[in-house]
Structure 1
């Protein structure tokens, strides 16, 4: 067998594979001999079918199968040994005149090669790394929510602005019928609020959904409509009141602290506020890191310049797609995927240049933290290490889960690398201002 490469340019090459009879004949003969032993052909005893008849009936199919196997194995081995970084997969060139009755065969494959480039993390313009703080206003609101959540419900004869209302929203045309509970501070505008204040259990209110709630997204839960419907939804609904309650806030005492944080972990309101601040800022740090990762990704894709084998990649999209694509459709698909491909190459370059790897021990530790956080959501705040070991082992036995967690660990490593080497400027903001600045 002879494999040669013709370099068209830095990004494109042709690989030629020449296969001779001696490369495949022993394998084909062995398979046909095995076929002869088991073949059931009328007029012949099993194992006594003439080899000529076996070759006539099965020879061509076996030959084609073995040559294709040999071709793929040898091509893959060649690409590995030559350390060729190919994009997509090798594309076989069309051979309309291929003669399977010949003893020797020649095949050609087009290759699209990954470009050589450098990545500079020290961008000219500094990228903002947000440090999100939990301010007193946020902590006050969280303490108030906790006190109300763990407080007592006191039944009321009629609704006031501080009331918690339970009832059923209905709209027959849209097939809406949903029982919900909400506080009246979610209602938007004096006119809407006036319909609730003074109402009693059993009353049915006629309402319009447009501008009914301070946040349109509340309609998703309260009316069971999807996200797109919730925005600018303008329909008539009725709301029949079942219950009216006022929630009396719980006392901030040791009993409540133990319920929230575990026995004697927190012993005063001051410590409670400090714990709320600490926990909130841990979550904010994750959001800030994700924002940093997204911003650096965008910056690197925008400013790291290199060419791609565009023509090859469009042909590869046509060849591997589920549907037959025209040249125009393939170009459109390529345009959609080009940015992602560029970042994959950039990220791979950063990982290789900085020798970033995810070890099994790192992955296992990350899985245990992930499981621990999941359990904490269900009140299991201090699971035994053996329990975490067993559950995390089951999680990692799922290949898709293991891949997802491994990608998260690598993202953490990249963020840490960017914090160390990228051109960053730190900006301290409250969470409220972070949301306004980042998401509008």
Structure 2
């Protein structure tokens, strides 16, 4: 067997694999002998079929199969030994008038080679690393939400601003009849609000659906109408009041603190606000990290310049999907995936150059930390090591779970690496300002 390579340019090459009869014939003969032992051909006892007949019936199929196996094994071994970093898979070149009746064969494959390039995380323009903080307004709102959640409702006969209403919306022509509960805080506009303030249990209010609620989607819930209809609904409805309740806020006392965080873990309103702030900012950190990953990814793609074997990749996309694509379809698919291909190469080089590997022990520790966090949510704060090891062993016995955990851990390593090495400018922002800057 002889394998040679011709480099067309830095990104494209052709590999030629020459296979002689002596390379494949021993395997072909062995398979045919095994066939002879088990072949069931009328007129012959099993194991006594003439070899000439076995070859005539099975020889060509066995030959093709064994040559293809040898070809694939040899090509893979060659790529590994030569340390060729290829994109996609080798593409066989078409050969006109190929003849399986000859004894020696030659096959050619097109290769798309990964480009050589350098990656720098020290971009000229620094990347903003958002640090989202919970401001006083957010903390006070969360505090009020907690007080409402743990407060109580007190029945009333006459309504004031801020009260809760329960009643039935009706419009016979539109087929509307639905019971709903909402606060005056959901009502939009002073004119609508004035109809509710001073109303009494048993009263029936006549209302316009257009601009009735601050959030138009409330119409879907309170009137039970479809999404598209709710946006354009402009009809008159009646609302018969069956209940009016005042929501009394829970006292900010030790009883409430213990309900929220366990006995004596929080002992004052100041400590409660600090806990709310810490919990909120921990959740915000996930969004900040994701945005940092997005921004660093975009910067790396933008600033790391290299060519790709586009013609090869378009051809590979065309012939390696479930269905063969046209040239135009393959070109479109390449354009959609080009950025992803570029980043895979960039990220792979960063991982290789900086030895960002994941070991099994790291995956095991990562898994145990996840398990401890989940157990803590159910009040199990100090699980025994043996219990953790047993649960982790069951989790890691599933290869799909190992793959997912490995990816998560690698993503965390890459994120930590970016935070340490990339050209970042920290910026503290409220969540509201973060949303404005990033999404608007």
TM-score under structure 1 length normalisation: 0.88
Q: Once the two structures are superposed, what CA deviation does each residue of 1:229-271 show, in whole Å capped at 9, x if it has no partner?
A: 5799323586777754332211222222222112221122211
Q: Give the C-alpha shift of residue 299 in structure 1.
A: 0.8
Distance change >3 Å, CA 63–CA 215, structure 1 → 2: farther
Gaps of 5+ in 1: none
1:4-403 aligned at under 5 Å gives the runs 4-157=4-157, 160-165=160-165, 182-194=182-194, 197=197, 198=199, 200=201, 208=209, 211-215=211-215, 233-235=231-233, 244-374=244-374, 379-380=378-379, 382=381, 384-385=383-384, 386-403=386-403
How far apart in 2 are the matches of 1:245 and 1:94? 80
8 Å contact kept, 2:3–2:18:
yes
Local SS of the residue matching 2:8? strand
Give secondary structure in 2 for the equivalent of 1:322.
coil
Partners of 1:410 and 1:11 in 2: how far apart?
29
Kept in 2, the 8 Å contact 1:171–1:236? The answer is no
What is the CA deviation profile of residues 373-415 of structure 1, one whole-angstrom value per residue up to 9, with x for unaligned ones? 44555x4462624555444444444444433332222222222
The CA distance in 2 between the partners of 1:240 and 1:404, in whole Å, is 54
Q: 2: CA distance between counterparts of 1:6 and 1:173?
A: 79
- Structure 2-normalised TM-score? 0.88
> Does the C-alpha gap of structure 1 residues 178 and 121 become closer, same or farther in structure 2, counting only changes over 3 Å?
farther
Cα gap change, 1:327 to 1:171, in 2 (>3 Å):
farther
Distance 1:58 1:189, change over 3 A: farther
Match of 1:233, SS? Answer: helix
Q: Structure 1 residues 273-282 or 148-157, which shifts more?
A: 148-157
For residues 306-351 of structure 1, what are the alpha-carbon distances to aligned partners after superposition, in whole Å with 9 as ceiling and x for unaligned? 0000000000010012233211111111000001111111111111
How far is the alpha carbon of 1:211 from its aligned partner?
4.9
Which range moved further: 153-162 or 73-82?
A: 153-162
**Offset, 1:75:** 0.9
Farther off after superposition, 415-424 or 100-109: 415-424
What is the rounded CA distance, in whole Å, between the counterparts of 1:158 and 1:365 in structure 2? 60
CA distance in 1, matches of 2:225, 2:102: 67
Deviates more, 1:400-409 or 1:217-226: 217-226
Which has the larger displacement, 418-427 or 303-312? Answer: 418-427
Unaligned 5+ segments in structure 2 are none
**Compared with structure 1, are the counterparts of its residues 89 and 372 closer, same or farther at alpha carbon in structure 2 (3 Å cutoff)?**
same
Deviates more, 1:273-282 or 1:331-340: 273-282
CA contact (8 A) 1:17 1:71 kept: yes
Q: Distance in 1 between matches of 2:223 and 2:365?
A: 42
Residues 1:101 and 1:400: Cα distance change in structure 2 (over 3 Å)? same
- CA displacement, residues 187-246 of structure 1 (integer Å, 9 cap, x when unaligned): 4333454565537579687653x65544556678778999xx579932358677775433
Give yes or no for contact 2:192–2:207 (8 Å, CA) kept in 1: no
Aligned partner of residue 315 in structure 1, secondary structure: helix
Query: Which of the two has higher C-alpha Rg?
Result: 2
CA contact (8 A) 2:164 2:245 kept: yes
